[in-house]
Structure 1
Amino acid sequence: MKIFGKIICGTLGFIVGGPIGLLLGIWIGHSFDKGFNQDFGNFFEDKDPSKTQAAFFESTFAVMGHIAKADGVVKKAEIDAAEQVMLKLGLTGEKRAKAIKAFNSGKSIGFDLNAQLQGLITNCARKPSLIQMFLEIQILGATADGNISHTEMQILYQIGGAFKIPTSQIDRLVEMVIAQQSFYQSGASGGSAQANAPSIEQAYKVLGIDTSATEQEIKRAYRKLMSQHHPDKLVAKGMPEEMVKMATEKSQEIQSAYEMIKKQKGVN
């Protein structure tokens, strides 16, 4: 039981306001002690960046394996998606072996999702950009076979719930990631035909906004997403450096979508 807040605030309150100040100080001190006991200790704790990186890396592939197994059978497309993430990250040797081990652990029968997420909660709860990047990677894995099943969505909701993210926000993020995939694939198809080009509707979905968005809303959405996916910022917050390439690609997709919308809207 912590009483330091009551003692300090009560003493100061008595000096300033006498008996009434004492009572007020004790009440304030009690609130401080209660808050410190619950959250403030974690807030002031200087997290070890290497622990954050390790938790993010392991959880990324373990949860991806869990989602892949959600429908009972791990499909080839889901394994390919995990391989694609490893390829994008340039994982080789020991790092690749760790990723495969985590993926296999995630698809095992006894895998405890809540226990796995606890490491992320401890190290990343106050870093929303990292959590969003984590969720986006999981959505990429979940959509590997062309759609997201009800079971996979429930897992995504469970992850969101662990970080107090509402289901509506998860739904919106899923829509954005699917749009980003479609936008990127259309742009990278290499075809010159208009039919192969990314659509303006896709561009709006990449930014997570409606086609009726105002110029101010477009710019606000763009700046927010670019800030959330800035590679240097993500690494500074504890994202493993191996994932810089993926964050950079995300930034490029957002930039391309924004440029398309600006051109269509005539925005400078």
Structure 2
Amino acid sequence: MSVWGKLAGVTAGYLVGGIFGAVVGAVAGHYVLDKDDEDVAFAIALIALSAKMSMADGKISNKEFSAFKEILHDLPENELKNVLKVYNLAREDLAGYDTYAKQISSIFQNNLHVLENVVDALFHIAKADGPVNKNEIIFLEKIAGIFGFSAADFARIKASHMAAENDDPWLILGLESGSNLKSAKSQWKKLAAENHPDKLISKGVPRELLGMANEKLAVINGAYHKIEKAHKMKAGSGEI
């Protein structure tokens, strides 16, 4: 049975009456999760964190739930009702978003590939109903901090999602502005390889998050091609 199918049992059991802490309690060490429970706990935390993200700007939009569905990989239509139930319960739940962020961080300790994909997914939701506002940035920055990302890491992730920062392809690739083309090409190949779906799976990224893989690859490729084009223009003008 898929993770999404297991949510039916969770919503009928753990979440009766909105008791979300039955799974979240694992973060506090109340019990040890086996692999199946861990998968379900991750799914719940991801759904809950996405629901909290949708509320960060102070308004609720159907566009944000549609964006949430886009980040999920091969979510069967018949499982959508279970996901929606958890999503709506999370929006009503009094537990703070940090509870769910810590749960995901605990499950995927030191696996920055997974954690960065979660931040990417949250950015995707934040962008759904218009430009990402200050409150949403604060929310995302705090999540990234809980996950262990530095300010520089967050700036790089943010750059790949926001129009103004997208103007700096070097930042998207995590390089100093004006680095040489050889360095840019090497970093581009490295990031493209790391973000290939097969590689992500091998690094432990849950299949449920693979819906973002192609979008991220497109951003990485676009950044490198922008650098390459600028380099060729400079070469043609005799500047290099």
Q: Is the 8 A contact 2:159 2:168 kept in 1?
A: no
Alignment of 1:114-193 (within 5 A): 114-179=98-163
- Given candidates 55, 75, 78, the residue that maps to 2:61 is 75
Task: Between the two structures, name the one with larger relative contact order (CA 8 Å, sep ≥ 6).
Answer: 2
Q: Is the 8 A contact 1:172 1:208 kept in 2?
A: yes
Q: Which residue matches 1:97?
A: 81
TM-score between the two structures when normalised by the length of structure 1:
0.62
155-164 or 62-71, larger mean C-alpha shift: 155-164
| 1:154-197 CA distance string (max 9 Å, x none) | 221221221222334323311212259x98xxxxxxxxxxxxxx
Q: Go from structure 1 to structure 2 and tell me whether the alpha carbon gap of 1:227 and 1:106 turns closer, same or farther (over 3 Å shift).
A: farther
* CA–CA separation in structure 2 for the residues paired with 1:252 and 1:52: 31
Q: Is the 8 A contact 2:61 2:129 kept in 1?
A: yes
> Aligned partner of 1:67: which letter?
M
* CA–CA separation in structure 2 for the residues paired with 1:263 and 1:174: 23
* CA–CA separation in structure 1 for the residues paired with 2:139 and 2:220: 26
| 1:15-35 CA distance string (max 9 Å, x none) | xxxxxxxxxxxxxxxxxxxxx
Query: Does residue 85 of the first structure (1) align with residue 51 of the second (2)?
Result: no
Aligned pairs, number? 201
- Report percent identity of matched pairs: 23
Task: Tell me which structure has the larger Cα radius of gyration.
Answer: 1
**Secondary structure of residue in 2 paired with 1:213:** coil
Query: Does residue 243 of the first structure (1) align with residue 227 of the second (2)?
Result: no
C-alpha root-mean-square deviation of aligned residues, in Å?
A: 3.2
Q: Which runs of 5+ in 1 are unaligned?
A: 1-46, 184-200
| 1:60-116 CA distance string (max 9 Å, x none) | 221111011123320233233224334xx2312454233323322332251332322
Q: Which residue matches 1:20?
A: none
Q: Which runs of 5+ in 2 are unaligned?
A: 1-32, 236-240
> Aligned partner of 1:161: which letter?
G
TM-score between the two structures when normalised by the length of structure 2:
0.68
* CA–CA separation in structure 2 for the residues paired with 1:225 and 1:77: 30
**Secondary structure of residue in 2 paired with 1:132:** helix
- Given candidates 26, 31, 43, the residue that maps to 1:57 is 43
Q: Go from structure 1 to structure 2 and tell me whether the alpha carbon gap of 1:96 and 1:236 turns closer, same or farther (over 3 Å shift).
A: farther
* CA–CA separation in structure 1 for the residues paired with 2:114 and 2:59: 29
* CA–CA separation in structure 2 for the residues paired with 1:85 and 1:255: 20
Query: Does residue 265 of the first structure (1) align with residue 231 of the second (2)?
Result: yes
